[in-house]
Structure 1
Amino acid sequence: MIEVRGLRKRFGPVLAVDDLTFDVRPGTVTGFLGPNGAGKTTTMRMILGLDAPTGGTATVLGAPYGRIPAPMRAVGALLDAGAVHPRRTARDHLLCLARSNALPRRRVEEVLGLAGLTAVAGRRAGTFSLGMSQRLGIAAALLGDPGVLIFDEPVNGLDPEGIVWIRTLMRDLAAEGRTVLVSSHLMAEMALTAGHLIVVGRGRLIADTAIDAFVRPGEVLVRTPDAAVLAPALTAAGARVRAGEGGLVVGGMATEEVGRLAAAEGAVLYELTALRASLEEAFMELTRESVEYGVLDGAAR
């Protein structure tokens, strides 16, 4: 479990993180979302002890990261896939991490296989594509078989097969009872991966909620042979009605209300379906006032 309490970080005049408080619980993938400059990476760096907070605390498994006796066995993280010596092979990079953290050599081969890198384990990391570097970074994060995992934009550079792989991997890790925190700008991917969302803007918490509560039903699709009767009745009842998606698209009225009105009008229904707003639409609406249009200090990422 990750616990953040009143976390603040200032870089000179820039307040990158402003009084953040949230928990990341085991058993579900938690998406960490926010516009550019919202403070996501800075928050992750403070959780991992790479940046010192100006105020507040961040603990992992009940302790600050720096006080965890065997950190790689407790926490795995991918913040920068390029943080690898370019002349080391993928296998040697992982072996170095394993030896310095008293991890068995067999674990190196296990994570190489898990990340799909066995065939290129003897290649130097400097020759890797961005997608392969991401896979190597994920392999390193998994090396200690940790209970807590933190990924910053892990799907960058991955091809469609790789995106499906990391999505499945994160969900499987959470299903095993691990704590998984992942940031991403790909809203469609987060909608398929995360069960919980933490949304920040300009360093402040905007939302801490289950994804189903965040992405609420938007409109109702009605397929009926009696549209000429039902549409005016819906409009008269205060709904917004438009043609689309093979039927009537009704806004401002719950599915149950549309069904009752159709019954009262004697309209036959072929389909009555609640349409969910996309995660991207919900995110854009919620963070509209938190987008940084100017250039922000590079520290506030």
Structure 2
Amino acid sequence: MHGKKRYRHLNLVPRTLGAAIALAIALLAPRALNAASIALRWTAPGDDGNVGRAANYELRYSESTVASADTATWWSAATSAGTLPTPRIAGSQESFTVAGLDSGKTYYFVIRTADEVPNWSGYSNVAARSTGTGGGGLPTPANFAGVPVTGGVRLTWNAVTTGGATGYHVYRGAAGVTIGTLIHTATITETAWIDTTALSGQAYKYSLTSYAGANDSAPTEYNVSVPADGVVAAPGELLGYPNPASGKVTLRFMAGTASGASGRVRLVIYDLTGHLISELINEDMPAGETAVDWLCQSDHGNKVAPGLYNAILDTPLGRKVTRLAIVP
């Protein structure tokens, strides 16, 4: 690897070959993501022209261009970009980032698709892009963080005030990938955004860069796991699920201080007459999302009567009260 790693970006669209097999894909003008990576974009083809869903993609690249229109020979010698995600329904927007490239070099890309047999499409056109040599010195945003909230994942970061950046790019991929798909472009004044397309029970890696023109800064990254039930508490919230409930309520909240330090947490259940039913937590806890189950019982092990109850949470962030309905 040579030079400082940064990121660059590339685009793609489909091309019909006329055969009843997966379409070849024509690469559009690439966009540099950084000096070590190039992100590819295309529109998903089908498995029969523009109908259905292809089964596989194969993407290859080389520092050598295709000589004398002999794409087959070039393909045999080119480097595979690895396993690409399963194709989406025809017409969907797709993307993939090829990472681990050398800075300051030109790379050539070709992609093919296949159906389930597999019948392979023809070769796409050849798309070329040079990686950068320094990315223009754009600053990486500081204090990037993410937290699941009801309805998505909330991302926050510090504003970039120097270096000439004009905005931010948010990328999302599966946990463990180098960098994911561009999912949001923010203005330079924004410092927070909620990803409302995050799915319950999934783990994601978010990457954030500042950008100016076609150049991005080096990314900052944050991994987030979204609970399977999709119910998440934001800082200062106390959520009970299900509600109404019978037999068990899961209470979710964010423990700790606003600065991320540990702090005292007390979580109790009272009936509407003011009688303490159960003390679930009364201890110092580390910062982060916490889930506690109340089995709809008193501290003596007696099942509570159907009715309304108050769950009261005290943390360094303040007090929160949530009304719970217990049914037979």
TM-score of the pair, normalised by structure 1: 0.24
Which protein has the bigger helix share? 1
Which protein has the bigger strand share? 2
TM-score of the pair, normalised by structure 2: 0.23
